[in-house]
Amino acid sequence: MRESGAGAEVLIVHRPKYDDWSFPKGKAERGESDEECALREVEEETGLECELGASLPEVTYRSKGRPKRIRYWLMRPLGGEFRADDEVDELAWMGLEEAHERLTYDHDVDVLDAAAGLL
């Protein structure tokens, strides 16, 4: 999240493989903590180096018959630059209301609502 003249903004990404809008996320590498994974994945998908803020609710669901667990944090960008690729072809900073409408998955909307409650 970042603050703009219009208030808090969140960053969401478009993944062409799924044609969805979601928060950056990914799989942990062997021996990597959840926190290290979150920072690495956000940087890989968005080009932004960030620092962790408050922890947000964990999301669990099943995908292709396997359980998935995703942890999220508020993050503050410190620097970096986005470069589109096959995994993420677009990103957008937007206000909470616009993000609420654009996010593809209900579980991401739940995370957004939790984040809004911390601001």
Instruction: Determine the pLDDT at residue 5.
Output: 65
Give me the mean pLDDT over the 2-19 stretch.
Answer: 88
Taking only the tens place, the pLDDT of each residue in 73-94 is 999 999 999 999 999 999 999 9
Residue 32 half-sphere exposure, CB side, CA atoms within 13 Å? Answer: 13
Instruction: Determine the pLDDT at residue 6.
Output: 67
Taking only the tens place, the pLDDT of each residue in 12-51 is 999 999 999 999 999 999 999 999 999 999 999 999 999 9
- Partners of 63 in beta bridges: 66
In angstroms, the CA 102 to CA 22 distance is: 9
Domain 2-118 has CATH 3.90.79.10: yes
Please give the C-alpha separations between residue 16 and each of 10, 54, 87, 105, 112, in angstroms, as whole numbers. Answer: 20, 29, 7, 15, 22
Q: Is the pLDDT of residue 70 over 70?
A: yes
Reported as a pLDDT band with limits 50, 70 and 90, residue 3 is confident
